Chains A and B, each alone.
Chain A
């Protein structure tokens, strides 16, 4: 009976928290961190840099275009995800969990302790864009540089004579 009651209460809490779960951006979080402190929020962004696994937990950093926010979650949640960098756009994920403006567990970091991580858009390779003008400029300048060094060499040789 007690078990049923507890689970019902937990379910109730979960339902309530998902109802009050606010979808926020990094701009909102940084503009007024106090407003969201301790509340369950949902946040979307691209995983950037590295997925840093430390034992049973992992750190990821999510960038939503304006700023990146650190997310602390169970290592199982980030299995198979990939992070973005120069050559790759990382997975865009939605996390939901408790936001801390100064997390007591992590030395005061502004972070989200996420319960769930869901992939919205899978990561993809980014094609490098190479400007054709720049390519031609490189060849042209190389020619000028060669010409210049040959001229200078000639001058030096003539001086020696």
Chain B
């Protein structure tokens, strides 16, 4: 029997949602400050208006939800009145997360839309979702004349979304409450780094901010040596770092990474992309002295193998297709490997034009890239896609099944893998990994079918769909402000569902079903 959600349920969800919305509003202080410093009056106004809208709606929602909750509670039976106020249960947590990402998309899109660089509010929403979900597909027009403030906001959405909107709220704005973990899990972070969620969230931000400092300095210096002015070099450095470490893939100029024509920047961004593809739990163990973990960890091993295997496929594809890149080591590395590692870590930085991938790369090279994008980085990192731990678990399950066939019937076949500690492979774990993998494959396929319905070829459709669902951001030329609105909406859904790893999206769907079909 499905129970119809009560008003209190909606009130609890709305209450926590409003807190997260207020948190999102506070993050807009950064671009507002940037507008003041750079003297950009138009963008200042855009962000001021947006912040006012965010705060008004956040405050109103908070009051209404609290009122609804309290009036509902008065009518509730006495035993229920003792339950601590406004603590979300699992369903509340999941739905709050799913909705807060949608709210972030809507509010984040307002300043972009006001800038006039996006032809419709839908395009601005696409950009905002692409940023928060760290995808990097972009519909902006005339990016080269976009203000620094708006560019900072585009990159900041990736920095916020990469770590997790709820993680941001937990670490900076919201006081701890017992339902925090339920929201944290909803954001595709099923592993706690530290026993306490708030400390986990703070650690995640500790890592990110440490690397932000390192990244801004190293990329800034590299850009400066490449001939850029010091102020612009460090501004670009900070933004590029956010895009690389959070495996986002936006860039400040329309040519993406090709703009810099700089070997150094490409090498440094590769380093940060790989760091961004690492599990935050692994960061914790490496930073606290357990350095051997880097070599023993199943995810790091699988990542190494997968990157090399998919690169071999892509490189052979380029060579077969007669690509000029396969005539020289530097070219194969800077064009082939850069695109591949950018796809595998889910970043989406490009050193070629999207049209070139669509037209010049052979089918085999595209397939290699699609595989790399579909696989993704480590769990609890900022990447998207199926992720390395699941691939590792599935591979181990295959090995176990083969062993079961080979070994004598009465032998106990047990399979272990090393992920922070030695873990025995259980059917439960394999099932969970396979379910998520299957869901991703369905999502990739679904987008590809819609792409083909809109008249694009099979491989380009699959490429772009995988890129959206795995939060990569590489494009082979389909994504543009002129593409059909239906395809934009599908890609937006894919980015959202792919980033949240389905559970909270499924819960939201279930909630709506319960509202319609449930019994009181």
- Tell whether any CB of A sits under 8 Å from a CB of B in the complex: yes
Determine whether the beta carbon of A70 is less than 8 Å from that of B258: yes
B interface secondary structure, majority = helix
Count residues of B near A (Cβ-Cβ below 8 Å): 51
Determine whether the beta carbon of A145 is less than 8 Å from that of B226: no
- Within the assembled complex, what's the spacing in Å between the Cα atoms of A24 and B201? 53
Residues of A within 8 A of B148 (CB): 86
Determine whether the beta carbon of A85 is less than 8 Å from that of B144: yes
Determine whether the beta carbon of A48 is less than 8 Å from that of B253: yes
Residues of A within 8 A of B481 (CB): none
Shortest beta-carbon distance from A53 to chain B in Å: 5
A interface secondary structure, majority = mixed
Determine whether the beta carbon of A102 is less than 8 Å from that of B325: yes
Could you say which of B228, B259, B335 contacts A108, with CB atoms under 8 Å apart?
Answer: B335
CB proximity to B under 8 Å, residues A98-155 = 101-102, 104, 106-111, 126, 128-131, 134-135, 137-138, 141-142, 144-145, 148-149, 152
Determine whether the beta carbon of B328 is less than 8 Å from that of A59: no
- A49-73: CB near B (< 8 Å → 1, else 0) gives 1111110001101010001101010
Determine whether the beta carbon of A141 is less than 8 Å from that of B331: no
- Within the assembled complex, what's the spacing in Å between the Cα atoms of A104 and B327? 9
Shortest beta-carbon distance from B366 to chain A in Å: 18
- A30-62: CB near B (< 8 Å → 1, else 0) gives 110100000000000000111111100011010
CB proximity to A under 8 Å, residues B313-334 = 323-325, 327-328, 330-331, 333-334
- Within the assembled complex, what's the spacing in Å between the Cα atoms of A33 and B323? 12
Binds A, one of B44-52, B120-128, B286-294, B409-417: B44-52
Q: Say yes or no for A97: interface residue by CB 8 A criterion.
A: no
Q: Say yes or no for B81: interface residue by CB 8 A criterion.
A: no
Determine whether the beta carbon of B325 is less than 8 Å from that of A68: no
Determine whether the beta carbon of B227 is less than 8 Å from that of A137: no
| Known contacts A50-B228, A53-B227, A110-B353; is-contact A138 B258 (Cβ 8 Å) | no
Determine whether the beta carbon of B45 is less than 8 Å from that of A63: no
Shortest beta-carbon distance from B144 to chain A in Å: 4
- Within the assembled complex, what's the spacing in Å between the Cα atoms of A68 and B325? 21
Q: Say yes or no for B71: interface residue by CB 8 A criterion.
A: no
Determine whether the beta carbon of A86 is less than 8 Å from that of B258: no
Binds A, one of B54-62, B97-105, B211-219, B461-469: B54-62
Q: Say yes or no for B6: interface residue by CB 8 A criterion.
A: no
Determine whether the beta carbon of B40 is less than 8 Å from that of A86: yes
| Known contacts A52-B261, A61-B259, A70-B258; is-contact A30 B335 (Cβ 8 Å) | no
Determine whether the beta carbon of A101 is less than 8 Å from that of B40: no
Determine whether the beta carbon of B40 is less than 8 Å from that of A141: no
Q: Say yes or no for B263: interface residue by CB 8 A criterion.
A: yes
Determine whether the beta carbon of A30 is less than 8 Å from that of B227: no
- Within the assembled complex, what's the spacing in Å between the Cα atoms of A51 and B260? 10
Could you say which of A48, A109, A137 contacts B258, with CB atoms under 8 Å apart?
Answer: A109
- Within the assembled complex, what's the spacing in Å between the Cα atoms of A23 and B53? 49
| Known contacts A86-B147, A110-B352, A149-B59; is-contact A135 B45 (Cβ 8 Å) | yes
- Within the assembled complex, what's the spacing in Å between the Cα atoms of A50 and B234? 13
Shortest beta-carbon distance from A72 to chain B in Å: 7
Nearest A residue to B227 by beta-carbon distance? Answer: A52
- Within the assembled complex, what's the spacing in Å between the Cα atoms of A63 and B141? 12
Residues of A within 8 A of B59 (CB): 145, 148-149, 152
| Known contacts A59-B227, A59-B261, A108-B334; is-contact A128 B41 (Cβ 8 Å) | yes
Q: Say yes or no for B518: interface residue by CB 8 A criterion.
A: no
Determine whether the beta carbon of A106 is less than 8 Å from that of B261: yes
Shortest beta-carbon distance from B60 to chain A in Å: 7
Could you say which of B42, B145, B147, B252 contacts A84, with CB atoms under 8 Å apart?
Answer: B145
Shortest beta-carbon distance from B141 to chain A in Å: 10
Q: Say yes or no for B232: interface residue by CB 8 A criterion.
A: yes
- Please name 21 pairs of A and B residues whose Cβ atoms are closer than 8 Å in the assembled complex, sorted by A: A30-B356, A48-B145, A49-B252, A52-B261, A61-B259, A67-B353, A70-B259, A85-B145, A86-B148, A101-B324, A102-B325, A107-B330, A108-B335, A110-B356, A130-B45, A134-B114, A138-B45, A138-B52, A144-B52, A145-B55, A145-B59
Chain A residues within 8 Å of B, Cβ to Cβ = 30-31, 33, 48-54, 58-59, 61, 63, 67-68, 70, 72, 84-87, 89, 101-102, 104, 106-111, 126, 128-131, 134-135, 137-138, 141-142, 144-145, 148-149, 152
